[in-house]
A = this chain, B = another copy of it.
Amino acid sequence: MAAGTTPNSTRRSERSRVAILTATRELITEVGYAKLTIEAIAARAGVGKQTIYRWWPSKGAVVFDSLLALSESPDGGIELPDTGDVEADLKAVLRATAAEFSDPAFAAPIRALNTEIINDPELAAVYREKMEQPIREAKLRRLRSARDAGQLAADADLDLLLDLLYAPLTQRWLLRSGPLDDGFADALVEAALRAFRP
């Protein structure tokens, strides 16, 4: 049933937990991560500050959990499309990712999350386990399916392939070093696949 960084207890008020995470998400999009304060979260959530400090060790952890709650799919299973054509499928997925990054509603919180993760190794570990891992697994499954179908070299290092696909996209978005258009997504997929074709 949920649960990211925060411990659990029967005594805990679910109403407060949800109010805090919701308030956090709203405030991030409204005022930005840099100006997000615990006091504002508490006020917006109608909660005492102590209730936040009781269950989360840092502002970053609250932000993290508030985004985690968003990303968790109810069924728990994430799957990439598999039409049989890796290149087409990956292009669709990367274009979608690029589009998401361009949507301020998504972008602001994720930018905040990245800032937090860069400076907090502990949080980074939780992030990888809870948020990155499930998605990465889904991506790897799709690539394995492609390899099995002979669309990729039999000895292809799929982890590396994934990095080649996604890192340039994320980097460009984070540092705003160029446009995130479909052309870039397509070129990325083509180049990455070229490196691992059979």
Integer count of this chain's copies in the complex: 4
Interface SS of chain A: helix, strand, loop or mixed? helix
**B163 touching A171, Cβ below 8 Å:** yes
**B160 touching A188, Cβ below 8 Å:** yes
* In the assembled complex, A31 has its CB within 8 A of some CB on chain B: no
CA distance A196 to B188 in the complex (A): 12
* In the assembled complex, A49 has its CB within 8 A of some CB on chain B: no
* In the assembled complex, A144 has its CB within 8 A of some CB on chain B: no
In the bound complex, residues from chain B placing their C-beta under 8 Å from that of A124 are 175-177
**Residues on A close to B: CB < 8 A?**
32-34, 111, 114-115, 117-119, 121, 124-125, 127-128, 132, 157, 160-161, 163-164, 166-168, 170-172, 174-177, 187-188, 191-192, 194-196
**A171 touching B170, Cβ below 8 Å:** yes
In the bound complex, residues from chain B placing their C-beta under 8 Å from that of A170 are 167, 171
CA distance A5 to B81 in the complex (A): 46
The 8 Å CB contact of A157, one of B132, B163, B187, is B187
In the bound complex, residues from chain B placing their C-beta under 8 Å from that of A171 are 163, 166-167, 170-171
CA distance A161 to B114 in the complex (A): 25
